[in-house]
Amino acid sequence: MMASRVRKAVLPVAGLGTRFLPVTKAVPKEMLPICDRPGIELIVAEAVEAGLTELILVVARGKEAIVDYFHRSPALEAHLEATGKLELAREVRRVGELATVMTMRQEEALGLGHAVRTAAAAVGDDDFAVLLGDDVIDAAQPAIGQLLDVHAERGGCVVALMPVPPDQTNRYGVIGGERVGERLTHIAVMVEKPPPAEAPSNLSIVGRYVLPGRIMRILAQTKPGRGGEIQLTDALAVLAAEGQAWGLEFEGERFDTGNVLGLLRANLHYALKRPELADGVRALLQEFEGR
């Protein structure tokens, strides 16, 4: 069965950002910069490039800056234009016009599954994508686009996978299943953050998903799991048991920007890709070597 074209993407950005306290006391972690852009802009750009033009941000109190960032700021644009800063004016306007953005509020921090379920009224019955802000992926074809291609062929749910060192399975959703292609696995089981001894494999879920609309009904029935939270992985495990789940080891490099060192690593990577920054960054790296 050909799946219909997916247009909607849910971006859960309600997390407290405790690993970045104290800065996240006043600044959403998704607004922390990778060079001169908030990390979340790279995620939005990935979605838009893959044809996902209706974005649903799941926010919480204190996350208003993210919403403002993706809307227009006519007063700022007018000021920049009046003072002759036309290039900046264009850039500010471009960001505000990247996509159609809807906002839903998650009223309590009850887990990723609960955050996705918060978007139910905006998603309706449509199949949709989910992109998590901590996982920034640099790829020739957007990672979520690679998943959408699999979804168009197979339907069901498709998750992004990455092998991790066996002692790190307790940080991820982990899958077990049968490999059906060079990078594709037909998933049979999914477990949220299993200790290494209980992990079905070392293939772990990275924060990109394409989900069938009916996952919302499954999430409504999903009981709290690991950490007392409603886990998206537990809802997807229901689909896996029905043979309706696929995992793709995507092509591209993933950056975990959910911790300080990971964010720094992403900053170095993206700075080295910018011609006007690359030489300066190399000089800095040399200066700090051996300190």
- 134 binds ligand G1P, rule: CB under 6 A: yes
For the CB of residue 16, give the shortest distance to ligand G1P in the complex, in Å: 11
Interacting residue with ligand G1P among 118, 146, 185, 233 (CB under 6 A)? 233
Q: Are 95 and 41 in contact (CB under 8 A)?
A: yes
The smaller minimum CB distance to ligand G1P, of residues 103 and 233, is found at 233
- Which of 46, 106, 14 is closest to 255 using CA atoms? 46
Q: Is 33 helix (H, G, I), strand (E, B) or coil?
A: strand
Does 207 bind ligand G1P (CB under 6 A)? Our answer is yes
Q: Is 102 helix (H, G, I), strand (E, B) or coil?
A: strand
Of 47-55, 66-74, 120-128, 131-139, the segment contacting ligand G1P by CB under 6 A is 131-139
3-state secondary structure 174-230: EEEEEECCCCEEEEEEEEECCCHHHCCCCEEEEEEEEECCCHHHHHHHCCCCHHHCC
- Smaller CB separation from ligand G1P, 28 or 173: 173
CB of 280 to ligand G1P, least distance (A): 31
Select 147 or 271, whichever has its Cβ closest to ligand G1P: 147
Strand partners, 205: 161
Contact call for residue 10 and ligand G1P (CB under 6 A): no
Tell me if 192 contacts ligand G1P by CB under 6 A: yes
Closest CA to 255 of 132, 131, 136, 142: 136
Site for ligand G1P in 151-180 (CB under 6 A): 172-173
**Residue 103 touching ligand G1P (CB under 6 A):** no
Task: Candidates 6, 59, 112, 187: give the one binding ligand G1P (CB under 6 A).
Answer: 112
Rg (CA), the chain: 20
Return the number of the residue (80 or 210) whose C-beta is nearest ligand G1P: 210
User: Does residue 257 interact with ligand G1P by CB under 6 A?
Assistant: no
Q: Which stretch binds ligand G1P (CB under 6 A): 51-59, 121-129, 225-233, 242-250?
A: 225-233
Q: Kindly tell me which of 89 and 112 has the beta carbon lying closer to ligand G1P.
A: 112
Out of 60, 135, 144, 185, name the contact with ligand G1P by CB under 6 A: 135
CA 166 – CA 105 distance, rounded (Å): 36
Q: Which residue is nearest to ligand G1P (CB)?
A: 173
23-33 core/surface letters (b: 16 or more CB in 10 A; e: else)? ebeebbbbbbe
> Taking CB under 6 A as the rule, does residue 43 contact ligand G1P?
no
- Dihedral Cα 91, 92, 98, 100, nearest 10 deg: -160
The answer to whether 30 contacts ligand G1P (rule: CB under 6 A) is no
**Nearest-angstrom CA–CA distance, 190 and 126:** 23
Residue 267 found at the interface with ligand G1P (CB under 6 A): no
- Please give the angle made by the CA atoms of 128, 11 and 176, to the nearest 5 degrees: 65
Closer to ligand G1P by CB, 19 or 85: give it: 19
Q: What residues line the site for ligand G1P (CB under 6 A)? A: 112, 132, 134-135, 172-173, 192, 204-207, 231-233
